[in-house]
C-alpha cells in the first residue's frame, strides 16, 4: 500500500494539470476551483477528525473568520491576496488555539456543542458587526485575486489554489506518517496510554486544531477572492455539517479521502438540482445511505477491501531490528533508577485510599507491591504515574521531584507503565504501537515532519528498527503489522510491555501483568521481567500472583487499608503475621503459599 502513495500523488497532480485544459467553459473551471477550496478545508479538518478523533461542527465559523479577515484587510488596508491570506491564516490559527482549549476540559458531544456554539457566534457577529462586516448584506467588491500588485488571471488563480491544495495534501500526508501523526492517533485512541508514554494530549489536540483552523482560514480568504462577495449566509451550521461530511464520506484519516469527499459534495448540488424541491430530501437520504453503506468512508472501505484481496504479510523479519539490549541499556548507562515516595497520602472525598505510604524502589531491583483488593495498590500506581494528585506527601525518581507533575511529564522523566485493563492503540498496528513509545527519543520538529527531511527519515528508520528489536524482545515480531486490537489477550499484555520499554524508562511499572494469563504465559512473563531487570531497569510490579512475585521480586511491599504494613525480601514478608492477617484475617501463614487469585485461562 505504501508504495502506491507516490502513484496516487502523481495521478492527483496530473488531474490538477489536466482539468483547466479540459474544461469547456469558465463556469466549469470555477466549479472545480470551488472544489479545490473545499478540499483545502476538508484536508485540514481531516487532521482534526481523522487523526485526533475530535468532532468539529463549527468549521464554517473558521472558514468565515478567514474569509472576513482576508476580505477586510484587502478592502480596508489594500493588502494583496498573499498577505491577506497570511493574516487570515494567523487569525484563524489563533482562534484554533482558543477552540482547542475546551478540549482540556470537555470531549465528545460536549466539544461538538462548543464548536457548534462557536460557529453560531461567528455567524452572528458577522451579521451584527455591520460597520466591519457589512451585516446581512455582506461585503461586496472584494478585489480580484492579486499578488505583488499584479492581477492574477483565472488560470493563475487556479494555479495558486491547485498548488496550495497539492502541497497541503502532501504536507498532511507526511505529518500523518511522522511522530506527530502517530501521537495524534495515539491520543485519540487511548489518551491514558498516550499520557503514560509522555505525550501531551493538549499539545497534540492544539496542533490538530491549529492545522484545521489555519487551513480553513486560508480557504476562506481564497473563497472571498474567488467570489468577490461574502455574506453570513455562506457560513451556516449546515455548511459545518457539510465540511465534516466531506471527511467522513471520503474516509477519515486517509490521505485522499477528504479530496474525494470534497469533490462529491461540491458537484453533488449540481446534480441534485434535477430534483428541484426534493433536492434537500435527496441530500439527506444520500447522507443516510453513506453512513450505512460506507461507515468508514470511500477510502476506508476501499482500503479494507484491498486488504482483504491482497492481505499484507503480518510478520516482520527479526533481523531488521536492532537488539533490544543495546536500545535499552544505552539510555541507562549513566543513571541509577530509584523511586522514593514519602508519606504519600491520597484522599477521595472522605475516603483515604492511601495513607502516608513511604516506599523505596532501589536501583535495578524488581520490587513487588501486593495487598488485598482495595488496599490502595491501584491508587499508588496511578499517583506515582501522575494520573491522580496526592493529597499530601511527595515522590521522586532519582532525585527528580515528581510531585505535582502531570502524567506525561512524569513519563518523560523516565517512568513507563502498563495497565491493568490493557490500553492499546487498537486501530494502529503492533509495530506502530511500539513506535509511539519511542516518541520522546525522536528529536525532529514539525517542519521536518511536513517536509520529510533526510534527518527525519533517518530518525524514523532508527525508531522503526529499535521497535522491531523490542518486538522480538517480547516475541511479537510475527505480528508486527497486525492491528493491535486483533491480538489475543496474552499478546496484548506483552505488547504493552514492549511499548513501555520503547519509551526508554528507568523505572518500569507493571500493573497486574499476569492477570488473565495462562500458566505458560506467566512463565514467559517471569523470564521477561528477569531480562528487563538484568538490563538495569528497575521494575515495580503490582501483582496478586504470589508464585510470580516469589520467583522474581527482590523486595515485596505490602499495602493494607492504604498503609504500608511490610516491606522486605519475599521470604521475610511471607512470614510476617500482619501480612497474613491482612490477607486472611488469621495467622495461618501457609495460605500465602498458594495463589490467592486463581488465574483465568486467557482468550
Binder among 127, 314, 318, 356 for another protein (CB under 8 A): 127
Under the binding rule (CB under 8 A), the answer on residue 31 touching another protein is: yes
Size of the site for another protein (CB under 8 A): 92
Stretch that binds another protein, among 6-14, 197-205, 211-219, 332-340 (CB under 8 A): 6-14
Strands (E) in 39-187, as ranges, are 146-147, 150-151
**Interacting positions 549-568 with another protein (CB under 8 A):** none
Least gap, CB of 222 to another protein (angstroms): 13
- Give the H/E segment covering residue 509: strand 507-511
Under the binding rule (CB under 8 A), the answer on residue 244 touching another protein is: yes
Count of CB atoms situated within 10 Å of the CB of 48: 32
Q: In what order do the strands lie in the sheet with 366-370?
A: 415-417, 507-511, 538-542, 366-370, 555-560, 563-568
- CA 142, 146, 151, 152 torsion-angle sign: negative
Stretch that binds another protein, among 27-35, 318-326, 367-375, 545-553 (CB under 8 A): 27-35
- The torsion of the CA quartet 279, 281, 282, 287, rounded to 10 degrees, works out to 130
Stretch that binds another protein, among 19-27, 168-176, 443-451, 467-475 (CB under 8 A): 19-27
Least gap, CB of 289 to another protein (angstroms): 9
Least gap, CB of 163 to another protein (angstroms): 18
The residue among 214 and 245 lying less far from another protein, judged by its C-beta, is 245
Stretch that binds another protein, among 4-12, 175-183, 518-526, 537-545 (CB under 8 A): 4-12
Binder among 2, 21, 76, 109 for another protein (CB under 8 A): 109
DSSP tag of 318: G
The residue among 30 and 452 lying less far from another protein, judged by its C-beta, is 30
The residue among 395 and 444 lying less far from another protein, judged by its C-beta, is 395
Binder among 20, 82, 229, 489 for another protein (CB under 8 A): 229
Count of CB atoms situated within 10 Å of the CB of 119: 25
398, 391 Cβ separation under 8 angstroms: no
Stretch that binds another protein, among 83-91, 130-138, 178-186, 499-507 (CB under 8 A): 130-138
Count of CB atoms situated within 10 Å of the CB of 79: 21
Phi then psi for 444, rounded to 5 degrees?
Answer: -65, 150
538, 338 Cβ separation under 8 angstroms: yes
Under the binding rule (CB under 8 A), the answer on residue 486 touching another protein is: no
Count Cα neighbours of 193 within 13 Å in the Cβ-side half-sphere. Answer: 27
Cα separations (Å) of 20 from 16, 25, 70?
8, 9, 26
Count of CB atoms situated within 10 Å of the CB of 514: 24
Under the binding rule (CB under 8 A), the answer on residue 132 touching another protein is: no
Grid cell 485544459 — which residue?
A: 21
The residue among 251 and 469 lying less far from another protein, judged by its C-beta, is 251
The contact mask relative to another protein for 355-394 (x = CB under 8 A, - = no) is -----------------------x---x----x-------
The contact mask relative to another protein for 261-300 (x = CB under 8 A, - = no) is --x---x-xxx-x--xxxxxx-xxx-xx--xx--x-----
**Interacting positions 191-220 with another protein (CB under 8 A):** 192
Under the binding rule (CB under 8 A), the answer on residue 531 touching another protein is: no
393, 342 Cβ separation under 8 angstroms: yes
Least gap, CB of 374 to another protein (angstroms): 13
How many Å apart are CA 226 and CA 228, to the nearest integer?
A: 6
The residue among 233 and 588 lying less far from another protein, judged by its C-beta, is 233
481, 320 Cβ separation under 8 angstroms: no
CA angle, 343 as apex, 337 and 346 as ends, to 5°?
Answer: 105
Binder among 17, 90, 121, 317 for another protein (CB under 8 A): 121
**Interacting positions 49-108 with another protein (CB under 8 A):** 49, 53, 55, 57, 101-102, 105-106, 108
The contact mask relative to another protein for 302-321 (x = CB under 8 A, - = no) is x---x---------------
The contact mask relative to another protein for 401-430 (x = CB under 8 A, - = no) is ------------------x-----------
Under the binding rule (CB under 8 A), the answer on residue 8 touching another protein is: yes
Cell of 289: 445511505
The residue among 75 and 287 lying less far from another protein, judged by its C-beta, is 287
Phi then psi for 346, rounded to 5 degrees?
Answer: -130, 125
Phi then psi for 140, rounded to 5 degrees?
Answer: -105, 175
Count of CB atoms situated within 10 Å of the CB of 373: 9
> Which string of DSSP letters, residue by residue, matches 185-230?
HHHHH-HHHHHHTT--HHHHHHHHHHHHHHHHHHHHHHHHHHHS-B
Under the binding rule (CB under 8 A), the answer on residue 24 touching another protein is: yes
Amino acid at each position: 500500500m505504501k508504495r502506491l502513495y507516490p502513484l496516487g500523488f502523481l495521478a492527483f497532480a496530473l488531474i490538477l494539470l489536466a482539468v483547466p485544459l479540459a474544461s469547456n467553459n469558465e463556469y466549469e473551471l470555477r466549479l472545480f476551483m470551488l472544489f479545490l477550496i473545499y478540499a483545502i478545508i476538508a484536508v485540514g479538518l481531516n487532521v482534526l477528525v481523522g487523526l485526533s478523533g475530535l468532532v468539529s461542527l463549527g468549521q464554517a465559523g473558521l472558514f468565515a473568520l478567514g474569509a472576513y479577515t482576508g476580505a477586510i484587510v484587502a478592502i480596508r488596508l489594500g493588502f494583496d491576496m498573499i498577505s491577506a491570506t497570511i493574516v487570515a491564516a494567523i487569525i484563524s490559527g489563533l482562534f484554533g488555539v482558543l477552540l482547542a482549549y475546551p478540549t482540556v476540559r470537555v470531549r465528545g458531544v460536549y466539544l461538538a456543542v462548543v464548536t457548534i456554539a462557536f460557529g453560531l457566534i461567528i455567524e452572528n457577529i458577522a451579521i451584527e458587526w455591520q460597520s466591519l462586516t457589512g451585516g446581512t448584506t455582506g461585503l461586496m467588491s472584494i478585489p480580484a485575486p492579486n499578488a505583488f500588485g499584479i492581477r492574477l488571471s483565472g488560470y493563475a488563480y487556479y494555479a495558486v489554489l491547485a498548488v496550495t491544495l497539492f502541497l497541503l495534501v502532501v504536507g498532511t500526508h507526511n505529518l500523518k506518517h511522522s511522530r506527530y501523526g502517530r501521537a495524534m492517533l495515539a491520543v485519540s485512541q487511548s489518551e491514558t496510554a498516550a499520557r503514560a508514554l509522555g505525550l501531551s494530549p493538549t499539545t497534540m489536540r492544539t496542533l490538530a486544531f491549529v492545522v484545521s483552523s489555519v487551513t480553513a482560514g486560508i480557504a476562506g480568504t481564497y473563497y472571498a477572492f474567488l467570489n468577490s462577495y461574502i455574506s453570513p449566509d455562506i457560513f451556516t451550521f449546515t455548511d459545518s455539517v457539510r465540511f465534516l461530511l466531506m471527511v467522513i464520506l471520503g474516509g477519515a484519516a486517509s490521505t485522499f479521502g477528504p479530496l474525494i469527499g470534497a469533490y462529491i459534495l461540491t458537484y453533488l448540488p449540481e446534480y441534485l438540482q434535477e430534483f428541484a424541491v426534493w433536492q434537500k430530501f435527496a441530500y439527506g437520504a444520500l447522507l443516510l445511505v453513506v453512513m450505512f453503506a460506507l461507515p468508514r468512508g470511500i477510502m476506508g472501505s476501499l482500503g479494507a477491501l484491498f486488504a482483504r484481496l491482497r492481505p499484507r504479510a503480518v510478520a516482520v523479519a527479526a533481523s531488521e531490528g536492532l537488539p533490544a539490549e543495546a536500545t535499552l541499556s544505552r539510555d541507562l548507562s549513566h543513571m541509577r533508577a530509584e523511586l522514593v515516595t514519602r508519606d504519600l497520602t491520597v484522599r477521595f472525598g472522605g475516603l483515604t485510599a492511601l495513607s502516608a505510604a513511604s516506599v523505596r524502589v532501589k536501583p535495578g531491583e524488581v520490587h513487588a507491591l501486593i495487598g488485598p483488593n482495595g488496599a490502595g495498590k491501584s491508587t499508588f500506581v496511578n499517583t506515582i504515574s501522575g494520573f491522580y494528585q496526592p493529597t499530601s506527601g511527595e515522590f521522586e525518581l532519582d532525585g527528580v521531584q515528581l510531585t505535582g507533575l502531570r502524567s506525561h511529564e512524569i513519563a518523560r522523566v523516565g517512568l513507563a507503565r502498563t495497565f491493568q485493563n490493557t490500553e492499546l492503540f487498537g486501530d494502529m498496528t503492533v509495530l506502530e504501537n511500539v513506535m509511539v513509545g519511542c516518541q520522546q527519543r525522536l528529536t525532529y520538529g514539525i517542519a521536518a515532519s511536513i517536509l520529510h527531511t533526510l534527518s527525519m527519515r533517518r530518525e524514523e528508520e532508527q525508531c522503526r528498527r529499535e521497535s522491531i528489536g523490542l518486538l522480538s524482545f517480547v516475541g511479537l515480531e510475527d505480528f508486527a503489522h497486525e492491528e493491535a486490537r486483533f491480538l489475543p489477550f496474552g499478546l496484548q499484555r506483552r505488547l504493552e510491555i514492549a511499548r513501555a520499554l520503547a519509551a526508554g524508562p528507568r523505572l518500569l511499572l507493571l500493573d497486574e501483568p499476569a492477570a488473565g494469563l495462562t500458566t505458560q504465559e506467566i512463565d514467559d512473563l517471569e523470564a521477561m521481567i528477569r531480562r528487563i531487570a538484568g538490563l538495569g531497569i528497575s521494575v515495580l510490579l503490582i501483582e496478586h500472583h504470589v508464585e510470580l512475585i516469589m520467583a522474581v521480586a527482590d523486595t515485596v511491599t505490602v499495602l493494607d487499608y492504604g498503609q504500608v504494613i511490610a516491606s522486605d525480601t519475599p521470604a521475610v514478608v511471607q512470614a510476617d503475621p500482619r501480612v497474613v492477617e491482612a490477607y486472611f484475617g488469621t495467622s495461618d501463614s501457609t495460605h500465602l503459599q498458594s495463589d490467592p487469585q486463581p488465574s483465568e485461562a486467557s482468550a
